[in-house]
Amino acid sequence: MPNDEPAGSDNVVKQVLATINQRKPLIIVGGISTPQEAQEAKETGAEFVALGMQYLREPQWVAKVEAGQEDRIRYTMPDEAAVREVGINPFMYRYMQEDLGKPITQAPKQ
């Protein structure tokens, strides 16, 4: 399936959906931080939308969305104390930040 599109583009999703032809569920993972992004991903035809890094930042993400408390979702981790508060091991935090280059402190795309 050749393409020159970014992985999250609608065209790529449509190509994947056409290829799997309902034989398998489409799961979208990566780059989802806000409820709006999750809804947009679901509207592309995905049966499941998974949170990765954002779920580490805010373990109560789903509960807050369901309760209508989207304004209380944590999108950044200001320091290692906040990281420990949600139960992430400091060594894992540093590994993610430094070795993987995945900043857990990053705010969502605007």
Q: What are the domain boundaries of the chain?
A: 12-74
pLDDT tens readout for residues 1-52:
444 554 456 678 888 989 998 899 999 988 889 999 999 989 988 899 999 8
Alpha carbon distance 2, 4 (integer Å)? 7
Residues 6+ apart with CB under 8 A from 105: 76, 77, 78, 97
Q: Output the pTM of the full model.
A: 0.72
Check if the beta carbon of residue 53 is closer than 8 Å to that of residue 102. yes
Alpha carbon distance 87, 34 (integer Å)? 21
Span of 19-23, 65-69, 94-98, 100-104 with lowest mean pLDDT: 100-104
For residue 108, the model assigns a pLDDT of 60
For residue 36, the model assigns a pLDDT of 94
Alpha carbon distance 65, 72 (integer Å)? 9
